[in-house]
Amino acid sequence: MRKYFFILSAVTLFTACSQNAITGRNQLSFYSEDELRTAALTQYRQFLTESKVVSTSSSKDAEMVQRIGKRLVQAINTYYAQKGLSAELEGYNWEYNLVQSNEVNAWCMPGGKIVVYTGLLPIAQNEAALAAVMGHEIAHALAKHSNERLSQSAIQQMGGQVVGTAVSGKSAAMQAAINTAYGIGSQVGALLPFSRKQELEADKFGLIFCAMAGYNPQEAIGLWERMSQAGGGNTPEILSTHPAEATRIAKLKEMMPEALKYYQPVNSK
């Protein structure tokens, strides 16, 4: 019986893998993207009702977040079209919001729901650096890292259950997992961390999208240096899932020549 259980589990894991269109990497994905986006949308809307959203009518910072978001999405549409992958963007209904909070954080949920916290702005210091953060977070969503890390978390929590049975039809559990993944209602350090491989993928494509949107991707270097120094003894929340040690910054520098190939400056602030 034990033998058949492991065979069934192995088959389930194998069939739950899919290849990501832009990274080319096989990923664990127990959830369909449609159900993940639906669950994310529910949590996103609830988050906005419980948060202080900064209005574009009264804040230039909110206007800036909107402007960056639109430019990044335009660049992403172009990038995917050039690769013949436009169909991959179906189901993305992009939104960009600035939320009043002292947390140094930003995220992009499945389906393109982007939130920037006002606590990030003093560290970003300029529009191009903020674009680097937003590009990075959007890249996580496009690379389907949320599905991957939620699936990996499901394996860890399953114990002796068969994978397919454990995750099927549990929308409430999925919404709770999304809350944990993005730190909604949680304490610092309770977020599901991205892996090193996921971080490098988000760095790479985030730099490319930032450059294609007309923002200097080199601003990402100074940004992450400032991020790693922020808060003194208190780690900014974004760093609990986005390590910014010297080796990571060195990797960004290695990626920069490729990103700069996509860079065409436009008037940015």
Instruction: Give the tokens for residue 174.
Output: 């999925």
Which amino acid is it at 121? L
Helix (H, G, I), strand (E, B) or coil at 211: helix
> Does the active-site annotation cover 137?
yes
Which residues share a beta bridge with 108? 114
| Given 127, 137, 199, 237, the catalytic residue | 137
What is the greatest pairwise CA distance in the chain?
A: 66
Query: What are the catalytic residues?
Result: 137
